[in-house]
Amino acid sequence: AQSVSQHNHHVILSEAASLELGCNYSYGGTVNLFWYVQYPGQHLQLLLKYFSGDPLVKGIKGFEAEFIKSKFSFNLRKPSVQWSDTAEYFCAVSNRDDKIIFGKGTRLHILP
């Protein structure tokens, strides 16, 4: 069965620090990959997605993610975080014909 593993449950950073959130998935076929963000008290919103092509994907608010097929990974990065990036981040994966599977989420807390 497909699964998604997010390495960190809770991350605390200071403003301007660099961010990398790890995500690994288990599925051998062609996949679609996603990062969703959930700001406090809100619903999940799409941050970025990868379907094919350039493995470095740029999303909103300065976030990017790199798909490394050989490592089954899709890590999320941001060079300099802001206090407003405080949120929960979900990695997700689907094959082309099935449901999206979500990771357990990583809570990111940015100290001002």
Partner 1 sequence: DAGITQSPRYKITETGRQVTLMCHQTWSHSYMFWYRQDLGHGLRLIYYSAAADITDKGEVPDGYVVSRSKTENFPLTLESATRSQTSVYFCATGQSYGYTFGSGTRLTVV
Q: How far is the CB of 104 from partner 1 (least distance, A)?
A: 4
Give the span between the Cα atoms of 64 and 16, in whole angstroms: 16
Backbone angles phi, psi at 8, to 5 degrees: -120, 135
**Phi, psi for 81 (deg, rounded to 5):** -80, 160
**C-beta closer to partner 1: residue 46 or 111:** 46
For residue 79, the minimal CB distance to partner 1 (Å) is 25
Interaction pattern, residues 3-42, with partner 1; x per rule: CB under 8 A: -----------------------------x-x-------x
Amino acid at 95: N
The pair of structure tokens assigned to 74 is 């899709």
- Chain residues binding partner 1 by CB under 8 A are 32, 34, 42-46, 49, 51, 90, 94-100, 102-105
